[in-house]
């Protein structure tokens, strides 16, 4: 009888093997799946903004508002992992572990990271503009005010703050993916994803693909945010996400479980 979960070494091997698959995937497949991943993360972000609108004004403590935001956001990564797609932040872990284990190449890493980042952005922008803005879901002043405030705060963060928050974020995001890989059933994957993602969002860490939705949405709604402000966030957050996943998940678990003795 098969086990309901993989051991940590088996999980690490599965992650490295997935890095090989992503390394060799046709670029058109990566483009389509990356668009979907960006949209899925944006769905989680849109749900979180709608869910928490008005809670602070109603006197709900700030910590509980952040928890409610974090509690619903994980639907995005559940869709990414279970339905299948190409999320840049997860791909950092896959490709680095694949390279360290000799299954992936630097050229494949560059191709995958670049393609997934760009098309994650396109997918997130599609949801922000078409499904959140043009549909009128977020144009109601009650919803728009919160979205603009969130986007403005993210765009105004100092680079070092954005970077370190991004390190913590993708450490937890890739642990969520790691736990999902460890489970061999859907319910286990859902629980494995929910707790780490709820944690990073509630704590206020920074996720590059989520911010590809949050900040442009604030811009579409009339927030005083420039393109420079957008990339003032995305650049350090992207770098921090790479460090968080690359060092604290990919390198750590490769070193412990997969390096040749």
Each residue of 142-161: pLDDT tens digit?
999 999 999 999 999 999 99
Cα distances (Å, whole numbers) of residue 153 to 157, 160, 177: 6, 15, 28
**Which token pair is 4?**
């309901």
CATH number assigned to the domain comprising residue 178: 1.20.1080.10
With respect to residue 249, please indicate whether it lies within any of the assigned structural domains. Answer: yes
In a domain, 98, yes or no: yes
Residue 43, φ and ψ in degrees, nearest 5: -60, -45
Q: Which residues have C-beta within 8 Å of that of residue 247, sequence separation ≥ 6?
A: none
**pLDDT score of 91 more than 70:** yes
Q: What is the pLDDT of residues 170-186, one digit of tens each?
A: 999 999 999 999 999 99
CA–CA separation, 208 vs 161, rounded Å?
Answer: 14
Counting the structural domains of the chain, the total is 1
Q: What is the pTM of this model?
A: 0.96
Summarize the confidence of residues 229-251 as an average pLDDT: 98
Would you state the pLDDT for residue 2? 60
Tokens found for residue 16: 């490295």
Domain that holds residue 128: 8-258
In a domain, 82, yes or no: yes
Q: Which residues contact 256 (CB under 8 A, 6 or more apart)?
A: 8, 12
Query: Checking phi first, is residue 222 left (phi over 0); if not, alpha (psi -120 to 50) or beta?
Result: left
Residue 1 lies in a domain: no
User: Residue 261 pLDDT more than 80?
Assistant: no
Q: How much is the average pLDDT of 59-72?
A: 97
List, for residues 12-52, the tens digit of each pLDDT value.
999 999 999 999 999 999 999 999 999 999 999 999 999 99
How would DSSP label each residue in 205-238? Answer: ---HHHHHHHHHHHHHTT-S--HHHHHHHHHHHH
Reading phi first (left if > 0) and then psi (alpha if -120 to 50, else beta), residue 260 is in: beta
Whether residue 3 lies inside any domain: the answer is no
Question: Which candidate, 121, 208, 122, places its Cα nearest to that of 170?
Answer: 208
Q: How many residues does the chain have?
A: 261
pLDDT for res 1:
44
- Of 71, 53, 78, the residue nearest 142 (C-alpha): 53
Cα 241 from Cα 205, distance rounded (Å): 10
Q: Nearest-5° angle of CA 172, CA 187, CA 71? A: 50
CB of 163 closer than 8 Å to CB of 66: no
Exposed, middle or buried, 126 (CB in 10 Å: 0-12/13-18/19+)? middle
Q: Residue 93: inside a domain, yes or no? A: yes
Q: What is the overall mean pLDDT for the chain?
A: 96
Which residues lie below 8 Å from residue 59, measured CB to CB, with a gap of 6+? none
What pLDDT does residue 5 have? 87
- 222 found inside a domain: yes
Least confident span in 2-6, 137-141, 211-215: 2-6
Q: Residue 72 pLDDT > 80, yes or no?
A: yes
On whether residue 2 sits in a domain, the answer given is: no
pLDDT confidence bin for 127, thresholds 50/70/90: very high
């Amino acid at each position: 009888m098969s086990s309901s979960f993989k051991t940590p070494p088996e999980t690490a091997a599965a992650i490295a093997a997935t890095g090989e698959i992503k390394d060799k995937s046709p670029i058109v497949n990566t483009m389509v799946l990356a668009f979907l991943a960006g949209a899925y993360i944006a769905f989680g972000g849109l749900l979180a903004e709608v869910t928490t609108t008005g809670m602070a004004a109603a006197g709900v403590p700030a910590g509980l508002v952040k928890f409610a935001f974090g509690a619903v956001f994980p639907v995005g990564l559940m869709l990414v992992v279970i339905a299948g797609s190409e999320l840049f932040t997860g791909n950092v872990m896959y490709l680095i572990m694949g390279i360290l284990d000799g299954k992936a190449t630097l050229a494949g890493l560059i191709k995958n990271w670049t393609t997934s980042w760009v098309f994650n952005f396109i997918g997130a922008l599609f949801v922000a503009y078409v499904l959140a803005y043009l549909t009128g879901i977020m144009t109601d002043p009650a919803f728009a005010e919160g979205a603009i405030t969130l986007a403005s705060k993210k765009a105004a963060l100092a680079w070092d703050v954005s970077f370190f928050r991004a390190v913590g974020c993708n450490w937890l995001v890739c642990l969520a993916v790691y736990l999902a890989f460890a489970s061999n059933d859907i319910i286990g994957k859902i629980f494995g994803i929910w707790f780490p993602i709820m944690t990073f969002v509630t704590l206020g860490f920074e996720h590059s693909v989520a911010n590809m939705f949050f900040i442009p949405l604030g811009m579409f709604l009339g927030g005083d945010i420039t393109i420079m402000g957008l990339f003032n966030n995305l650049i350090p957050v992207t770098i921090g996400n790479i460090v968080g996943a690359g060092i604290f998940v990919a390198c750590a678990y490769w070193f412990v479980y997969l390096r040749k003795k």
